[in-house]
Amino acid sequence: MRTSKRNFVAPLLLIVINLCCGRGSDERVYLAAIEVINTTDRQIFKDGELLEIEVHIFESDTRRFIACSGQDHGLRKVDQSGVLYQVEARFRKPNGRDLQFQEVEPLRIHLEVFEDDFDACPQQPASGDDLVGASPPFPGSELQFGKVLSFGNVAHLQIMKGKEGAQSVIAPAL
């Protein structure tokens, strides 16, 4: 009887260790803050001139689309130009899953921000979407401590890794 308890407890202990400290502790990539300037919605719909901002991540060397964050992922309130929004927006891959830090850590990536009027994220930007700005390439590993950027008509963008519910501090753009 004692052997069967050990056979049950040992695998259970390994599962708990993995969930707490190992593979089960994956960290998602988040957009923590964003401000766009000099941007309008050229397609006027029933919402008036409210913006529909999306942030897309691409692998820089191949221009492979990796993931994006949009209205349904935490950017719905980002609807005016010239306002700094603190958000907790997830990045979704084309398969609908959340982007994990370890997936971008070894890559050189860049961000493209769009005012979206066509296919919503997690689809790639459409030709009719308006480019707000494109970042220079940077190592994905820089997301480990958070990355603050300013490019094009993006006055401030903070992207980071973190567990769900992690709080960010708005840092000045470099």
What CATH number has the domain bearing residue 149? 2.60.40
In a domain? residue 74 = yes
In a domain? residue 8 = no
In a domain? residue 79 = yes
| pLDDT tens sequence for the chain (174 residues) | 555 555 544 444 333 333 344 444 569 999 999 999 988 765 444 455 788 899 999 999 999 999 999 989 999 999 999 999 999 999 999 999 999 999 999 999 999 999 876 778 888 887 778 899 999 999 999 998 889 999 999 999 999 998 654 444 444 444
In a domain? residue 62 = yes
The domain of 37 spans: 26-162
In a domain? residue 174 = no
In a domain? residue 5 = no
pTM for this predicted structure:
0.77
What per-residue confidence (pLDDT) applies to 2?
54
In a domain? residue 21 = no
State the Cα–Cα distance between residues 173 and 101, nearest whole angstrom: 21
Structural domains of the chain, count = 1
75 contacts: CB under 8 Å, gap ≥ 6: 31, 34, 53, 54, 55, 69, 87, 89
List the one residue out of 150, 142, 140, 147 whose CA is nearest residue 168.
147
In a domain? residue 76 = yes
